[in-house]
Structure 1
Amino acid sequence: MLDDLTDSGGDLYRLVAKQSSPDPSPGLPVPVLSLPDLAPDPDLNDRITRTMEGLRHHVDASVIEWLHRCLAEHRKAEDTIGAGPVIAVVQAQLSSVSALTRNASGPLADQLTSLVAQYAQFVAWMCNDLGDKAAALGWYDRAHDWAMEAGDASMAATALSMKAHLAWSVGNPTRTVRLSEAARWHEGRITPGVQGMATQMTARGHALGGDASATLAALDTAERLIRRAAEHPEDEPSWMYFYGETWLAGQRGMIMLDLVERTGRDASQAIAPLELFLNQLPATYVRDRAWYGACLARAHSAAGDLDAASQTARTFAPDAVRLNRYAADDLRTLHGLLSRRMSSDPGIRELGEVLQCA
């Protein structure tokens, strides 16, 4: 169990060694990420060792702080190299952190239980990213339970928001709206950023159902909340590190794309925010850039600009195949559409080869 914690430090963090799912692209290079700052100093390493071996009955604040750092670095690693190489490490650490709660009491027990909830929420996200929606739902339920036990309203609301995301991903608009609205039952105890995340999920549900007016109203509310959050980012929980006005531009583009494809609205309403978002999103968010790039390709296709759709799809296809199965699936669907309308275009054949389309 100690190795599950301390293996994540060191000069080279070879997450792939812990990979728990098959590499979706066997011919591509193994992802490797350097995280030299995670290695604990000798004193902290001794504290962790004694805690995990039972030589010290109670975890202390320095160990908890280090575990928070580990989780934060794992989240950023997953942004860059995807869920496959990361999930086994995080699951092992979740088990270790959960074991620590048995010997903790008072405020430290609440802090550890909240941390376990954060680990469970992250595991759920990665399960969904890897296509295991049943496991994702189970882990979101556990994250919500642990958050409620710890009195962590922001994580409880986040878990409900992410369950709404899961409902959206399987095309259930009603459940998406209801779960995202339930996340806001904690209003008054959660931050504006967490409220904004829940509200943009409500917009996603309405867009999926083709309700334009409800979609736009929810988006406007989400933007106001995210602007409030940007005024005091230090008050937001650590897992909201990625969520701000730039990110909401991407959400707006994706949400508007759902409306375009369901109601025939002007596709430029999706293209402009998606282009803005991709221009501002750091290159380290490789997995997410693949998804939003696929959305942009679909938006160009909906606008009737097949050349732009083909070019955009070719730009993002390699990372989609390597790191984002949902983006790759969308691009394969788009490839089929473009093949029927641009069958002699060499770019379409090139796209098909990258996507491994027949």
Structure 2
Amino acid sequence: MSSPRFGLELRRQREAAELSLAQLARRIHYDKGYLSRVERGERQPSADFARRCDAALATDGMLSALVPATDSGGRGPDEPAAEPERAELRPATFAAPLADDVLSGYTAIYDELRRLGQGTAAAHVLPMVATQARVLRSGAAAQRGLLLLAARCAEYAGWMAQEVGDVASASHWTDESARIAADAGDHGLAAYAFVRHAEFALYRRDARAAIELAALVRDDPTVPGQVRRLAAHREAQAYALVGNPGACDRALAQAADFDTESGHAAVRFGSSIGGLDHAIAGWCYFDLGRFDRAADLLEHVTLGIPAPARRARGRHSIRLARALVAAGDLDRAEPVIGSALEDVRHTRSATAYDEIRMLSGDLLRQHHHSSSRTLRLMLMSALHNAPATG
């Protein structure tokens, strides 16, 4: 039997939160079609579904209270054992001790998901890596190796959520990664959550919050040098955002001084591209108005990004194009824009599309240049296919 009262209340709360069906579906990791049928009273919600809706909509358990008693599997009366759009996974705790080859197998899955995330749409990767994180977290118990891998999966789910434009989900997975890492005794990965939140603050253009969050990690000697280096990067970006070149340069110099050889490599924390120091410095110089220097650094970084890493190459290429346009060199910017749009077409990166919108504004200020209109038309065509964000 369906639950029309639940569906009506869910729709009312969703609309009050100003979320579309697609946006809420991404946040709770359910199929949009299933969510729509629940709202119309055509499907009975499960307890898990209701809990996720309560969390996403901050309804304090109200929706869960509207769900009828479930069977032993946690399903609603008319919900099949395996919903075609999303099978509910409730793994049992893994037997202890776990064989090394099993952990290696799960690690290989994680590595493959990261590889896929480099060159394909994050919306394809996010459900898989989120499921991997939940499976490992639920079954890990006290097994540290599985907990650490679950934390890494949750952290990457945060990146993928950010790349589909769902900042709330990105924040959730980042915090979940920190909680799991703390349970596993990995202070470095737990502290890295502050670096990620500093990045979220930068996207909001909240430089003060970014500086405060980054400083919590940068000044902690118990945190691995690699994470402290990334915190100093965020601090430099924040100072550049508010036009403080002296503080920005000091933060960049401090980042370069941190020992990144001890502890974990960059492939674990943040971007795995080479020349990360140059990439951050280039973007800082852009915000500080040193456009020629920014273009030189960003071009060096972009040329070094391997072909399969479309996500990183597309984003950095757009940033390079912005520096070139700001410097008035639209002739050099044109081929960079063309190749960047091809990369973004494959990855459908929300952060890259944000940069494309800003690039379009940059070009408008160069309207006197003969190629400005042509390049803006290219960007408008790309933005027409941009995914909805929320």
Q: Does structure 2 retain, via aligned residues, the 8 Å contact 1:20–1:87? A: no
Superposition pairs of residues 192-271 of structure 1, within 5 angstroms: 192-225=225-258, 228-229=259-260, 232=261, 235-236=264-265, 239-240=268-269, 242-243=271-272, 246-260=275-289, 266-271=290-295
Superposition pairs of residues 1-358 of structure 1, within 5 angstroms: 56=95, 58-102=97-141, 105=142, 109-188=143-222, 190-225=223-258, 228-229=259-260, 232=261, 235-236=264-265, 239-240=268-269, 242-243=271-272, 246-260=275-289, 266-323=290-347, 324-339=349-364, 341-342=367-368, 345=371, 347-348=374-375, 351-352=378-379, 354-356=381-383
Q: Which moved more, 1:163-172 or 1:309-318?
A: 309-318
| 1:21 to partner: Cα distance | 8.7
Q: Which deviations, in whole Å up to 9, do the C-alpha atoms of 1:160-196 show, x marking residues without a partner?
A: 11111111111111111111111235423x3322221
C-alpha distance in 2 between matches for 1:269 and 1:154: 33
Judged with a 3 Å threshold, the aligned counterparts in structure 2 of structure 1 residues 246 and 333 are, in CA distance, closer, same or farther, namely closer
Please report the RMSD computed on the Cα atoms of aligned residues, expressed in angstroms.
3.0
Q: SS of the residue aligned with 2:353?
A: helix
Higher Cα Rg, which structure: 2
| TM-score, L = length of structure 2 | 0.68
| 1:247 to partner: Cα distance | 2.1
C-alpha distance in 2 between matches for 1:244 and 1:320: 17
Q: Which deviations, in whole Å up to 9, do the C-alpha atoms of 1:183-221 show, x marking residues without a partner?
A: 235423x33222211211111111122211111111111
Q: Does structure 2 retain, via aligned residues, the 8 Å contact 1:253–1:271? A: yes
Unaligned runs of 5+ in 1: 1-18, 23-51, 261-265
Judged with a 3 Å threshold, the aligned counterparts in structure 2 of structure 1 residues 60 and 238 are, in CA distance, closer, same or farther, namely farther
C-alpha distance in 2 between matches for 1:287 and 1:158: 21
Amino acid at match of 2:178: H
C-alpha distance in 1 between matches for 2:252 and 2:161: 27
Give aligned-pair identity as a percent.
Answer: 24
Q: Does structure 1 retain, via aligned residues, the 8 Å contact 2:92–2:139? A: no
Judged with a 3 Å threshold, the aligned counterparts in structure 2 of structure 1 residues 235 and 307 are, in CA distance, closer, same or farther, namely closer
Q: Does structure 2 retain, via aligned residues, the 8 Å contact 1:184–1:195? A: yes
Amino acid at match of 1:208: L
